[in-house]
């Protein structure tokens, strides 16, 4: 386990901050063969050919429900992994432009993945003008180092500046008080927060660039989790969270930037230690990406 810096939340801090038939006649056989020869291999009809002209044939084995295939693969790959590793809980969600899929689980305390919601709320509150440099410095420390004191200050600075419903999937952090980190959330919720952070209808291009910048400059020892799902050459934007509660909470949320960007959220709890939690989160993230891609 790495030397965890002093800014990591402890039990008290996170508590404070309040996923045949035979053929009848030769003529019929000839007619049938003639029609079949005119039909394309895909099973689609040529123009002017009616469905009644073609005899009944078995359905092709390839699926006509790609979304269903992806969900089935997710449940098989990730579900089997979770079944083979009892002793911790997990909620998993993954999505791209073609749809989203999840394995539901219990809601878990957000820990430091809550900082992404706080970042989005701060940008919503300030994007109509130049970003205050002192607050930007706090946001950078909050996201790149997961600094809790910077998060406390930034959260207090924006109390009342956004409404709970302004961030889809959010828990309403920093809207009425400065408590954060102990609110419960799911992977599906966090996928919504990720979508909000990339949403041009919510954040300006400049604000979204801030999100991408800060989520790509995480200190090296915190670059784990969602990054395990990336292919060679793909960019990764992430935010992780962890804390020791009743066992360790270990979470990772982020976006993997390939030809089609993929949003992933993996929230887990009940691990015996930090390192075990990280290893499980990374394996789940990689399996979820495999399920989405089909290979």
Q: Does 267 reside within a domain?
A: yes
Q: What is the pTM of this model?
A: 0.79
182 and 11 Cβ atoms separated by less than 8 Å: no
Give which of 186, 212, 216, 218 is closest to 199, Cα–Cα. 212
> Which of 30-34, 93-97, 171-175, 281-285 has the least mean pLDDT?
30-34
Q: Give 213-224 as a 3 state SS string.
A: HHHCCCCHHHCC
Give which of 235, 171, 230 is closest to 198, Cα–Cα. 235
Q: Does 35 reside within a domain?
A: no
Q: How confident is the model at residue 259 (pLDDT cuts 50, 70, 90)?
A: confident
Q: Does 206 reside within a domain?
A: yes
Q: Does 83 reside within a domain?
A: yes
Number of residues in the chain: 295
The domain that holds 258 is classified in CATH as 3.40.710.10
Q: Does 127 reside within a domain?
A: yes
pLDDT tens profile 18-43: 333 333 333 333 333 343 333 333 33
pLDDT tens profile 74-92: 999 999 999 999 999 999 9
pLDDT tens profile 280-291: 999 999 999 999
pLDDT tens profile 55-68: 333 333 444 567 78
Mean pLDDT of the chain: 83
Instruction: Identify the bridge partners of residue 271 per DSSP, sorted by sequence position.
Output: 248
Q: How many CA atoms lie within 13 A of 248 on its CB side?
A: 16
What was the pLDDT predicted at 10? 32
Q: Does 25 reside within a domain?
A: no
Helices (H), 158-217: 187-197, 205-215
Q: Does 107 reside within a domain?
A: yes
Look up the domain containing 107 and give its range.
11-18+64-293
Q: Does 153 reside within a domain?
A: yes
Task: Provide the number of structural domains found in the chain.
Answer: 1
Find the farthest-apart pair of alpha carbons in the chain and give their distance in angstroms, rounded: 89
């Amino acid at each position: 386990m790495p030397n965890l810096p002093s800014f990591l939340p402890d039990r008290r801090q996170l508590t404070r901050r309040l996923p045949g038939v035979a053929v009848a006649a030769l003529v019929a056989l000839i007619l049938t063969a003639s029609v079949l020869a005119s039909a394309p291999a895909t099973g689609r009809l040529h123009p002017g050919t009616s469905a009644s002209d073609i005899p009944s044939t078995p359905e092709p084995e390839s699926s006509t429900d790609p979304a269903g295939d992806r969900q089935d693969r997710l449940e098989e790959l990730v579900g089997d992994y979770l079944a083979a590793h009892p002793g911790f809980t997990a909620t998993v969600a993954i999505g791209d432009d073609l749809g989203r899929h999840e394995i539901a689980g219990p809601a878990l305390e957000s820990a430091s993945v809550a900082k992404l919601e706080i970042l989005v709320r701060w940008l919503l509150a300030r994007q109509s003008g130049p970003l205050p440099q002192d607050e930007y410095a706090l946001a950078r420390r909050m996201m790149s180092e997961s600094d809790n004191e910077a998060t406390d200050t930034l959260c207090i600075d924006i109390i009342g500046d956004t409404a709970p419903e302004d961030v889809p999937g959010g828990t309403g952090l920093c809207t009425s008080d400065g408590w954060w980190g102990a609110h419960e959330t799911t992977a599906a919720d966090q996928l919504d927060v990720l979508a909000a952070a990339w949403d041009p209808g919510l954040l300006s291009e400049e604000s979204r660039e801030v999100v991408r910048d800060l989520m790509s400059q995480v200190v090296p020892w915190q670059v784990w989790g969602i990054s395990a799902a990336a292919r060679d050459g793909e960019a990764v934007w992430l935010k992780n969270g962890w804390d020791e509660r009743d066992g360790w909470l270990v979470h990772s949320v982020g976006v993997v930037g390939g030809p089609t960007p993929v949003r992933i959220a993996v929230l887990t709890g009940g691990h015996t230690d930090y390192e075990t939690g990280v290893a499980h989160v990374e394996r789940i993230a990689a399996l979820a990406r495999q399920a989405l891609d089909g290979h």
